[in-house]
Amino acid sequence: MEIIVNNEIKLRDWRKSDQKRLASLANNQHIANFMMDSFPHPYTKKDAEEWINMCLKETKNPLFVIERKGELIGGIGGHIKDDIHRYNAELGYWIAENYWGKGVVSQVIEKFCSHLFSNYKINRIYADVFSTNPASGRVLEKNGFIKEGTLKKAGYKNGLFIDLLVYSKLK
């Protein structure tokens, strides 16, 4: 699958050949600081291999490479929920640090959310943003997400309890 974002950026499926580049970009403490603990640090070639193998087998959740001019620069995914939350998808994304603040993620989120609403039986997309990452909240707001609330000290990251800010967008 491929989603064209603009003339430089596209979303595409993961490939085994992404392993080296993924390990290189993702092995960054600044990125890891804003990710769930399941995103390891240090991020090794073995972690990259395991992630890509999981993505290649995945059938329920759309998980894509963010690619710019033919080069992997990040990842984005939607985790389709179940049970009473079955019409919800949790949004997750990261991008290489040298692309922070350049508007790339904002464009990617717009196209990706459109893809989710068009191709999956969901009514709501949401994201939990660390209170320590206000830039992520701003990029969501630029894409029509509303801050629903704050989960006080609901996360534990790097030895500290942190607030989680819940953002959502309805179809």
Sign of the C-alpha dihedral computed for residues 18, 63, 165 and 155 taken in this order: negative
Q: b/e string for 27-66 if b means 16 or more Cβ within 10 A? A: bbeebbeebeeebbbebeeebbbebbeebeeeeebbbbbb
- pLDDT tens for residues 39-56? 999 999 999 999 999 999
Strands 88-95, 124-130: pairing is parallel
* Closest of 141, 137, 8, 153 to residue 69, by C-alpha: 8
Strands 124-130, 63-68: pairing is unpaired
Write down all domains in the chain, each with its CATH number in brackets. 2-127 (3.40.630.30)
Average pLDDT rounded to a whole number, residues 53-75 = 97
Model confidence at 131, pLDDT cuts 50, 70, 90, reads very high
- pLDDT tens for residues 107-116? 999 999 999 9
- Cα gap 46→95, rounded to integer Å: 20
- Cα gap 76→14, rounded to integer Å: 11
Average pLDDT rounded to a whole number, residues 89-110 = 96
Given this model, what pLDDT does residue 124 score?
98
What residues are paired with 107 via a beta bridge? Answer: none
Helix (H, G, I), strand (E, B) or coil at 102: coil
CB atoms < 10 A from the CB of 151, how many?
Answer: 14
Q: What is the pTM of this model?
A: 0.94
- Cα gap 168→57, rounded to integer Å: 28
Given this model, what pLDDT does residue 143 score?
97
